Structures are given as C-alpha cells and as structure tokens.
Structure 1
Amino acid sequence: MHTVAVLALDDVIPFDLATPIEVFSWARLPDGRAAYEVKVCGATPSVSAGAFALQPPYGLEALGEADTIVLPGCRDFDRPIPPQVLDALRDAAGQGTRIASICVGAFVLAATGLLDGQRATTHWFAADVLTERHPAIDVDPNVLYVDNGQFLTSAGAAAGLDLCLHVVRRDYGSAVAADAARTAVMPLEREGGQAQFIVHDQPPTPRGSEFEPLLRWMEEHCARDLSLEAIAAQAGMSTRTLNRRFREQTGTTPLQWLLRTRIRRAQSLLEATSQPVDRIAGRVGFGSPSAFRERFKRVVGTNPHAYRAAFRQSDPAVRRAAPA
C-alpha cells in the first residue's frame, strides 16, 4: 500500500489539509482495497488550524517512511519554517520520496531548495512573492498544477483536488482516479495546463487623483470606440502628456486600462446573463467577436465559454450536483 504523509504545520489552511486526506482516502483499488494509507504528521504536538486546533498522530519521522509527502499551505507564509522540518523534507527527497505542495505550501517546499531550477506554481496572489523570494524557481501562476516527476506543486484551493487526482492517476491509472473523482463529485478531465481563473484588477488610483473623473468617464463609455485621441480630448491634454501622466499615476497606459475595464465588464456579463458571447463582445466595446475572444483569453487565461461554465450564476437557490 502506498503511504501518504500530510504535513500539518502551525496555521495550516484547513481546506488544503483536508484535500489530500479525503482524496487519497477515497481512492479504492478494483478489488475494493484502499489504495493509500494516509498519515497526518506535525512538528509539534498541537497545530493551529484557524478556527480549531488538531493533534497530529504522527511526528516528522513519518516523512521518512512515506512514499509521498503533501505540504498544505499555511495562512501566514511569512512564518519561519522550523529547521527540523526542512531537514526532514530534504532527507526524504534524498531517498526518492515524492513531495507535492498545495497552494502556498509551495513556500515550504521552496525553502528546502528542492525546487531550484524547476518550474512550479502556487496561488496566483502569492506568485510574485514566491518569485521574489526564490528567483531560482520558474514560477508559472497560470496553471492548475506542475508535475516535475518527484516534485509537484498546485495552485490554490480546488487546484489541490486536481493535483491529488493527478497523483492517483499516475499511481493507479485513470479508472481508479475516475472513481475517486466521482466520489468527490468533480470532473477528472481538467488538465494541469489549464489556466487559473485570475481576477485582474486595475492598478489602484490615488483618491483625489486628477484622473478619477476621466477613469469614471472611460468606464461609463467603454462600449464606445474610444481612441487615444478621444480620451486625451476628454482629459484636455495632448496624447503624449496623457500617456506620460496616466502611467505615472496608474502604472499603465490609457488604452491598456480601457481594455482591462472591458474585460472586467465582460466577466460580469458572462457571470450574470445568458447573452451570447458575440453580443457581449459588442456591448463591452470590441469591434469583432474574434478580437474579444483573443483578448479575453490573454487576460483571463481561458475562453469566454469556459469562464461562463465555471462562474455562471444560476437562478435556483440550490444547484443540483451531477455525476462527474
């Protein structure tokens, strides 16, 4: 039987902790036997998990006995990692143990140095921090998970489910993984290269900025065919002056800001209406549906139809679960 050790450090995120415990516990072999033995271990007798505390039944010695180690994220990824934890992970890696991280658990794995020179991912909001702290890692914030063979990393929250099911499929094949996915009531077909659904907010504009009225006007008229000249005329500036001062205060150009505004408006319409994608393209100011689809995928990381399928708001209070 394959042994999975889930490491619970102080301030562990409960969802990240529960994901590998549940997924690997659900996996069953064709004859009904459990595919994995799951052990929750910790560096201390008691571990804080936000609204509750837990007492891991195993210590760090379980890491050396495991076939796979899973590192859930911790809410405060600035918290120093105990040296004995890093040593235990390095020792396990030296024995060939597979190590996977979920969400910001990538910071724990990165601190060991084991990810240096490799591609990895984490929750998109922490990707820049991970890159800054560990420049030797090729951080890709636009995927659900990355499998480097011995070391695997996943994006945030539900991407941990994708990663764990991927591991089951690697170990026992698609049939066992599909059965575990059905138990979890989730699809098996999402692949690691599928982009995370990232909310791209506009760069903040200081309150009282001279551009506040212009930005409101651009939002209200984003469906129009606004040229840089038209925006400059509204601002009462030359295009050169507008570009320079706009970038100084917002960190981007007027036309890039306008494109992001249109995409955000399109996201809202895709979530809240059943209007055809081509109509939404026109409503948010794109001259052609193909240009809209290309820009939407570039900014959001997926196409409008896939985004709507994932985030469409349904009218009934309860959405019925369908078999995966």
Structure 2
Amino acid sequence: MRFIFGFYNSLFDYYIMQKIKTALLSYGMSGKVFHAPFLTFHPGFELTGSWERSKKVIHLDFPKVKSYESIEELLDDDVDLVVINTPVATHYEYTKKVLQAGKHAIVEKAFTTTVAEAQELLALAKEKRLKLAVFQNRRWDSDFKTVQKIIFDELLGEIVEAEFHFDRFNPLLSPKQHKETINCGSGILKDLGPHIIDQALCLFGLPRSVFADIRITRKNSLVDDYIDIVLYYPNFRVRLKAGFFVREANPAYVIHGKKGSFLKPRGDVQEDELKLAKKPNLTTWGTESIEKRGLLHTEIDGKIINEMIPTLQGNYYDFFEGVYDSIVNDSIEPVTAKDGVAVMQIIEAAIQSSVQRKVIDL
C-alpha cells in the first residue's frame, strides 16, 4: 500500500513540476502585458523567448530568454507551446505553421478572419492531437464573472433581454497601422467584438439568427469602428455594442429577467494594472473598486432585493492554468477552437447582415 501511495505521490509531483516551454510570436503590448506576466508567474510554464522582427526588447525584461530572428528559428527550438499574438490577419497562417510543427497553440482573438480558416485549424489540431486554445481572457474579468454568477444562479428568473457594451471615447486613429488599414483582420468587429461575442456565447450558446449594423464614425477612418449586433434566441434577445464615441459610459452589462434586473459597469482592473507593470498574484489580483459594484433589483423567495452587490475577483491566471492542465492532463482547453469557430460564425453573419440589411439565420 505504501508503494502505491508513493507511486501516485511521485506521479503527482511530476505533473506539478512539469514545465511547458512557451514562446511568443511578438513582444509588443500584448506579449509584454497579457502573456509574459502570467507565463513567468505560473510555475508550470517556462518562457523561452519571442520572435522579434525589429526592436529587440524582451531581454530588457527577461535577460535569459531568446530573441528569435524568425518563426522558423522559433519552431526549430525546444518549444512545447506557442502564443500567436500577432495581428489578426496573420493568425491563420502562423497557427497552421505552429500546429504543423507539432506545437500546442494559444491564439489571440479574433481567432481567424473566416469561419473556414477556424474550422481548418480546429481539424488540424485534432488530427495532430494538439491543444489549441483561443485567448478570450475577458471570460476572467471580474465584472463578467459576476454577471455569469447572477445568471447561473437564476437570480433574475427567465431572461428576457441582455445588452453588453465595450465602449470607449477615442476619436483618434490608432498609431498601429495594421489596425487602421483595410485588411481582413482590421476593424472593431474583429478587435473588441470578439470579447463581447464570446461572453454572450459563453452564457447563452449559439443564437438562431443575427442582425447587425456595422459603421464607420471617426473622421478619416478606413475601417469599421461601431457595431450594434442583435443575437436572436427563441425566448430572448442579446444586444452587443461597441464604439469609440461614448464619453459617458453606459453600463457594460444590462440583464433583464422576469423577476428582476442586474446592471454592472465595466470595472475589471487587470489590464490597467498590467500596463503599470504590476505583477499578478493569487490573493488580491483582479479585485476591482467597490464603487464599480453592480445593482441587483430582483425578487428572491418573495422578498424584493434592491442593492449593490459585491463583485467577484477576476484573474487571467485561470486561463493559463486551464491551458496548462489541458496539456499536462489532456483535459479540454479553457477556451476551445470550437468556441473560436462559433465566434467567427457570429462575425461572418454580422458582416453579411450589415451589408444586406437583413436578419441572417445560422
């Protein structure tokens, strides 16, 4: 018996200590802010380096890692997992190369530029028996996690309608050229859109049909910067909006049910704190300000509740923990390629709807 317990303890220690050697395809804002802090904090990952095309800056933060000259050099190295955090238009090409090289992959949103590309990558990952996760980190925002709990706990009764916003006041064009030039990956629909689309699908699944209004509102803009998408479910509707001319913020989440309502402002602090070079932890990280609490007005067991409720803690660490577990223990990815395909289905339907000015059935 002692031998058996010793065997399983050794096996447990092996999995705990196993390192996933991970490389980035870029070390700009995304690599520096969203990925490297968690890959170096999580004990199961080892950051090997990043492909750097012009500026060689990763050594300033991590002196011992490599600065790869090309994706080929990176893929020839002893790497288990690659983060595809390059512009959207390159996701399909680079992810395909990564999978064909026998590496697991994390792909940022938007997963690809078309449904066909997403489905091909899903099939390739299955064929190669590799893990392919989509970096939909906003599932682990404090505000969304709170909304998710309210809905899953059925505190509002049967849902009638929901509205999600990802609004900003930013009339100026981005200095990042790939975001402002016409290409298959540019525009707000494939930038901010995937966040709220994925959140809606995470909560409610695929809708039956889609209607969308996609516009350009900024002076001299060449790409879409306003979206208004309606997802049609059998008994309720979900509206998703994002734009750059919202000086006075709407609630980020408004959910109405047959028993009550929940209104929650956007309050997650993780992106802002990561930009300030603050390091993640497992205790206080992702704790938002008390002023950002949501308003719950509903009826529970015959009693009317109308009060501000505490916000759950957010932590993007949980995404990386899920990726680690999926690779080491062959569990399902925290956000699957199938999830990525579903988001692309909504995006393609939204584009078609906006062009044709009609509801598109899925």
TM-score by length of 1: 0.34
Structure that is richer in strand per residue: 2
Greater RCO, CA 8 A, separation 6+: 2
User: Which structure: larger Rg?
Assistant: 1
